[in-house]
């Protein structure tokens, strides 16, 4: 016999007015109380989360502020792109061209980020039950992939210029590099506040930071050429820019791919989750335990929980559901969880692929 939360046994809430009662889960069977959730106003739409016992509404920190920040940075980036492209043609600097190429990628990435920020605010539908929240992950993956390609090109071209350095106009490099650095500094200040909100904004922030470091490298190279006449400084700066781009892009791409593969979030230890769930009274086993991340700040978890047969007759399942979900919210910050309760005799009916 199975029962699904939100169907036959809708959870009974003790936190309807902003508080959650303590529960008795604990590692190793120790009945350590779960931490109470912070007080929060009840959402207007109960269906947003109460089908699983929590009214969090799946809200992520996005909105008009994120769109405004991205729009301002996009405008600055386009302006610097045009100036640095002109500067690269005038001075013959690979470092400026590399920075301009990076800016071109940024322009495409920021445009995509802006579109994603608007899509993320669209409400869920019957076909897109999470709305467009995962669009931020796709955006981050695309931006990171493009930047990796740019970084590799810069490194290859830089090595070639080390072997055969062309003549470079250092004075022009200083002018255009200074303009680029000023614009990047302004963009960093704009995005600094919102960069921790989600991967989409974080990707844009990392791109701008890399641009600023690239501008610094351009200025240092220009000064070296102007003072010493060593034209290879331009190639060295280009290689430095490429070296700064690649590691950060790889980290962002790996993070995005981890979400797309629905891997277990780094903040959730499934072994520890299993131990906590088994510590709840009347629980006899846990299987088919899965955790993943829909988008930044939205981890989800599901599990089949084997309970004593009497729980299906004495009305105790609703209490257990509240205990389990309060445990996950209190210990692991997973507020969206789904549990399927099963009797101990149900094991013979399980599909062989269930873990």
Sheet strand arrangement including 298-307: 2-3, 336-343, 298-307, 283-295
Point out the domain boundary residue: 233, 260, 287. 260
Same domain for 71 and 21: no
Residue 324, CB-side half-sphere exposure with 13 Å CA sphere: 32
Same domain for 29 and 70: no
Q: What is the mean pLDDT of the chain?
A: 75
Higher-pLDDT residue of 8 and 149 is: 149
Residue 49, in any domain of the structure: no
Same domain for 253 and 109: yes
Residue 182, in any domain of the structure: yes
How sure is the predictor about 49, in pLDDT bands with cuts at 50, 70 and 90?
A: very low
Pick the closest to residue 111 from 77, 84, 86, 144 (CA basis).
77
Handedness of CA 275, 277, 280, 284 (dihedral sign): negative
Same domain for 256 and 268: no
Task: Tell me what pLDDT residue 304 has.
Answer: 92
Mean pLDDT of 86-103: 82
Helix (H) or strand (E) holding 224, with range, is helix 199-228
Residue 50, in any domain of the structure: no
Point out the domain boundary residue: 223, 239, 260. 260
Same domain for 123 and 252: yes
Question: Per residue in 296-310, pLDDT tens?
Answer: 778 899 999 998 888
Mean pLDDT of 54-79: 65
How many angstroms separate the CA atoms of 324 and 305, rounded? 10
Same domain for 73 and 27: no
> What domain range includes position 179?
64-260
Share of the chain above pLDDT 90, in %: 4
How many angstroms separate the CA atoms of 194 and 69, rounded? 8
How sure is the predictor about 208, in pLDDT bands with cuts at 50, 70 and 90?
A: confident
Same domain for 131 and 31: no
Q: How many domains does the chain have?
A: 2
pLDDT(45) > 50: no
Name the one residue in this structure whose structure tokens are 């386009």.
78
Residue 256, in any domain of the structure: yes
pLDDT(90) > 80: yes
CATH number at residue 165: 1.20.1510.10
Token digits of residue 86: 């002109």
How sure is the predictor about 44, in pLDDT bands with cuts at 50, 70 and 90?
A: very low
Task: Tell me what pLDDT residue 42 has.
Answer: 40
Residue 225, in any domain of the structure: yes
Same domain for 18 and 167: no
Same domain for 212 and 122: yes
Task: Tell me what pLDDT residue 3 has.
Answer: 45
What does DSSP assign to residue 338? Answer: E
Task: Tell me what pLDDT residue 301 has.
Answer: 92
Task: Tell me what pLDDT residue 40 has.
Answer: 39
Residue 53, in any domain of the structure: no
Token digits of residue 73: 């940075």
Count of residues in the chain = 355
Same domain for 315 and 222: no
How many angstroms separate the CA atoms of 213 and 240, rounded? 9
Same domain for 189 and 78: yes
How sure is the predictor about 77, in pLDDT bands with cuts at 50, 70 and 90?
A: confident
Residue 51, in any domain of the structure: no
Q: What is the pTM of this model?
A: 0.61
Share of the chain above pLDDT 70, in %: 76
CATH number at residue 26: 3.30.70.1350
Point out the domain boundary residue: 217, 245, 260. 260
How many angstroms separate the CA atoms of 178 and 172, rounded? 10
Residue 47, in any domain of the structure: no
Task: Tell me what pLDDT residue 205 has.
Answer: 81
Same domain for 131 and 172: yes
Mean pLDDT of 66-72: 79
Question: Per residue in 226-257, pLDDT tens?
Answer: 998 888 888 888 888 778 778 878 888 888 88
Question: Per residue in 107-137, pLDDT tens?
Answer: 777 777 777 777 767 888 888 878 787 877 8
């Amino acid at each position: 016999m199975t029962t699904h939360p939100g169907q036959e046994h809708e959870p009974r809430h003790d936190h309807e007015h902003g508080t959650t009662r303590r529960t008795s889960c604990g590692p190793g069977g120790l009945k350590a109380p779960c931490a109470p959730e912070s007080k929060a106003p009840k959402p207007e739409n109960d269906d947003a989360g109460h089908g699983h016992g929590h009214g969090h509404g799946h809200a992520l920190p996005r909105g008009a502020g994120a769109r405004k920040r991205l729009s301002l940075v996009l405008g600055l980036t386009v302006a610097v792109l045009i100036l640095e492209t002109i500067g690269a043609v005038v001075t013959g600097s690979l470092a400026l061209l590399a920075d301009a190429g990076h800016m071109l990628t940024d322009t495409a990435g920021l445009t995509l980020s802006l579109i994603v920020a608007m899509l993320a605010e669209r409400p869920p539908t019957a076909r897109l039950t999470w709305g467009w929240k995962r669009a931020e992950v796709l955006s981050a993956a695309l931006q990171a992939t493009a930047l990796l390609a740019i970084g590799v090109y810069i490194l290859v071209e830089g090595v070639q210029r080390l072997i055969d350095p062309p003549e470079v106009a250092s004075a022009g490099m200083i002018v255009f590099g200074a303009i680029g650095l000023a614009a990047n500094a302004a963009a960093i200040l704009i995005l600094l506040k919102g960069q921790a909100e989600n991967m989409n904004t974080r990707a844009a922030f990392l791109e701008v930071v890399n641009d600023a470091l690239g501008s610094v490298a351009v200025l240092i190279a220009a000064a070296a050429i102007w003072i010493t006449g060593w034209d290879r400084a331009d190639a060295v700066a280009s290689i430095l820019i490429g070296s700064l781009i690649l590691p950060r892009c790889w980290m962002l791409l790996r993070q995005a791919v981890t979400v797309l593969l629905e891997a277990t979030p780094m903040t959730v230890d499934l072994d520890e989750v299993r131990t906590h769930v088994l510590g709840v009274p009347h629980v006899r086993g846990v299987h088919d335990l899965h955790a993943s991340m829909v988008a930044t700040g939205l981890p989800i978890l599901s599990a089949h929980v084997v309970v004593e047969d009497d729980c299906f007759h004495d009305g105790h399942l609703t209490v257990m559901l509240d205990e389990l979900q309060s445990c996950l919210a209190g210990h692991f910050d997973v507020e969206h969880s789904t549990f399927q309760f099963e009797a101990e005799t149900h094991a013979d009916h399980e599909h062989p692929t269930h873990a």
